[in-house]
């Protein structure tokens, strides 16, 4: 249960470290598995817990975040938990207002329109003051997990956050945000740098609070081509990995494995493999063998079953998982979906996916 805030010290001993071992490239008896958006609306208990509360109010309640993070682990033998939160808490920490509009999704009341609007943002963010509620949720959840599995912390990457801050919400073309990259490259870099600095402190704070791995979501990488990615996304992705690791060392905190998930960035796999992350997450549009060939043996891969495969009958899910494991190989690999779970998915099919990964990977490892 998620009660009683304890200090970040004296965490329960970890019982299942398969996910962390795979992330570090060590041998595992079975392939670990978790799902992006595993704490989510496809679970009736999630909808029940969330029903009475505004979305971002839920994010600010350590107790509710803890409860939502633990729900999928009560149902499925997942190998990792990921803290329930949202990538848009970072723009909020910079002073922007974001509301969750039913049927539309996250919406910024005043998106950035002109370069001058950058002056409205907080130039120095005290992450403990602005995002301490996430740190409390992590500490509370880490205790409440009782060492069952490791806890993953996360953040959005600078370009993805910038695109939301300018578009004001979701967008099919990202034309407003991309126009900044072409029209205002210097101002774009200023904004991306500001975001990167906050993200670095935020991720270090998550480890201090008890996160045992970190994932960086570059969800909007697919809107950039190779050139724009090279100029406006990759340098910050690299910098975050490097700076987080050096700060963790400086502060005598555990140097935890880091995952980069850049959706639809198949053009950048080689660069991502060398960006300083232990794990590269893949979306479902990438062939496992090709990813392995481009990324090499020194980095763990994570992914990449098409989330829509979970609409298939359970036997079919088992076949698809077996094929995926044969393509990736069972080692230096973390099974996941190629994007998050959808709200109308059947929890039993999620269970079938998790169990198939464990069963087939054990079988392949034995033989």
pLDDT for 52: 80
Residue by residue, DSSP assigns 166-193 as: HHSS--SS-HHHHHHHHH-HHHHHHHHH
Residue from 55, 77, 58, 51 nearest 2 by CA: 58
Q: Which pLDDT score is estimated for 6?
A: 59
- Could you tell me the maximum CA-CA distance found in the chain, to the nearest angstrom? 63
User: Could you tell me if 2 and 138 are in contact, meaning their C-beta atoms sit under 8 angstroms apart?
Assistant: no
* pLDDT, averaged in runs of 10, over the chain (367 residues): 68 98 98 98 96 93 98 98 98 97 94 98 98 98 98 99 98 97 98 98 98 98 98 99 98 98 97 98 98 96 98 98 98 98 98 98 97
* Identified catalytic residue from 50, 142, 238, 292: 50
Question: Measured at the alpha carbon of residue 218, what is the angle toward residues 227 and 22, in degrees to the nearest 5?
Answer: 115
Q: In whole angstroms, what is the distance from residue 115 CA to residue 110 CA?
A: 14
Tell me if residue 41 is catalytic. yes
Entry pTM = 0.98
24 is a catalytic site residue: no
Q: Indicate the fold that domain 31-366 takes in CATH.
A: TIM Barrel (3.20.20)
Secondary structure of residue 337 in the 3-state scheme = strand
What is the distance between the alpha carbons of residues 336 and 119, in angstroms, rounded to a whole number? Answer: 40
CB atoms within 10 A of CB 178: 22
201 assigned to active site: no
List the domain boundaries for the chain. 31-366
pLDDT at 51: 86
The total number of residues written for the chain in this structure: 367
The tokens for 143 are 């205790």
Q: CA 150 to CA 273: how far, in whole Å?
A: 23
Please tell me the predicted confidence (pLDDT) of residue 201: 98
37 labelled catalytic: yes
DSSP 26-72: ---SS--B--TT-SSTTSHHHHHHHTTS-HHHHHT-HHHHHHHHHHH
Q: How far apart are alpha carbons 137 and 108 in whole angstroms?
A: 24
Is position 86 annotated as part of the catalytic site? yes
Considering the candidates 86, 117, 231, 306, report the single residue annotated as catalytic. Answer: 86
């Amino acid at each position: 249960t998620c009660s009683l805030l304890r200090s970040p010290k004296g965490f329960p001993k970890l019982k299942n470290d398969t996910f962390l071992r795979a992330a570090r490239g060590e041998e595992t008896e079975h392939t670990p598995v978790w799902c992006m958006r595993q704490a989510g609306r496809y679970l009736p208990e999630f909808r029940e817990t969330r029903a009475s509360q505004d979305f971002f109010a839920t994010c600010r309640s350590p107790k509710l975040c803890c409860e939502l993070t633990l729900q999928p682990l009560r149902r499925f033998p997942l190998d990792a938990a990921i803290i329930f939160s949202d990538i848009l808490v970072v723009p909020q920490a910079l002073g922007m207002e974001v509301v969750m509009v039913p049927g539309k999704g996250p919406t910024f009341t005043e998106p950035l329109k002109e370069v001058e609007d950058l002056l409205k943002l907080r130039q120095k963010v005290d992450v403990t003051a602005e995002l301490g509620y996430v740190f409390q949720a992590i500490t509370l959840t880490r205790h409440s997990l009782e060492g069952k599995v490791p806890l993953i912390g996360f953040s959005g990457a600078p370009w993805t956050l910038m695109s939301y801050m300018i578009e004001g919400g979701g967008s099919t073309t990202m034309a407003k945000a991309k126009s900044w990259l072409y029209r205002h490259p210097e101002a774009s870099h200023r904004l991306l740098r500001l975001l990167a600095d906050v993200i670095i402190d935020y991720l270090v704070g998550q480890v201090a609070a008890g996160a045992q791995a970190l994932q960086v979501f570059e969800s909007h990488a697919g809107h950039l081509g190779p050139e724009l990615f090279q100029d406006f996304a990759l340098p910050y992705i690299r910098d975050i990995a490097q700076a987080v690791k050096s700060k963790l060392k400086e502060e005598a905190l555990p140097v935890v494995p880091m995952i980069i998930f850049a959706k639809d960035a198949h053009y950048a796999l080689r660069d991502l493999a060398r960006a300083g992350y232990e794990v590269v997450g893949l979306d479902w549009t990438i062939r496992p063998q090709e990813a392995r060939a481009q990324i090499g043996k020194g980095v763990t891969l994570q992914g990449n079953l098409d989330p829509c495969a979970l609409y298939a009958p359970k036997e079919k899910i088992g076949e698809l998982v077996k094929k995926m494991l044969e393509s990736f190989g069972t080692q230096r690999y973390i099974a996941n979906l190629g994007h998050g779970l959808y709200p109308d998915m059947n929890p039993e099919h999620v269970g079938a996916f998790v169990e198939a990964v464990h069963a087939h990977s054990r079988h392949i490892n034995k033989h």
